[in-house]
């Protein structure tokens, strides 16, 4: 069964949320769901841009309070 991994990159600037996601995506298994938490507004557009270019799957983008919750799935 695929697992959902939570990546808490809230209140971080370097390396930053997208870099944290890329790092964890490398190690994830195909089919895994990753959920990135970020307080950076830009993450909501940065992540889909990378996901679409590299060929993984965007599941959802949701703002809960101050936090962005961005779910993606590793496809390849």
Residues of this chain that interact with other proteins (CB under 8 A) are: 7-9, 11-20, 22-23, 26-27, 42, 46, 49-50, 53-54
Quick one: tokens of 59? 């599941």
Q: How far is the CB of 19 from other proteins (least distance, A)?
A: 5
Q: How far is the CB of 14 from other proteins (least distance, A)?
A: 5
- Of 14, 26, 60, 76, catalytic: 14
Which residue, 22 or 59, has its beta carbon nearer to other proteins?
22
Identify whether 14 is a catalytic site residue. Answer: yes
Quick one: tokens of 26? 């490398």
Active-site residues, by number, are 14
């Amino acid at each position: 069964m695929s697992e959902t991994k939570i990546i808490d990159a809230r209140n971080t600037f370097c390396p930053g949320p997208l870099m944290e996601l890329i790092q964890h995506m490398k190690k994830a298994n195909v089919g895994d769901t990753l959920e990135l938490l970020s307080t950076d507004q830009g993450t909501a557009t940065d992540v889909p841009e990378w996901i679409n270019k590299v060929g993984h799957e965007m599941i959802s983008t949701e703002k809960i309070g101050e936090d962005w919750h961005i779910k993606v799935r590793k496809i390849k």
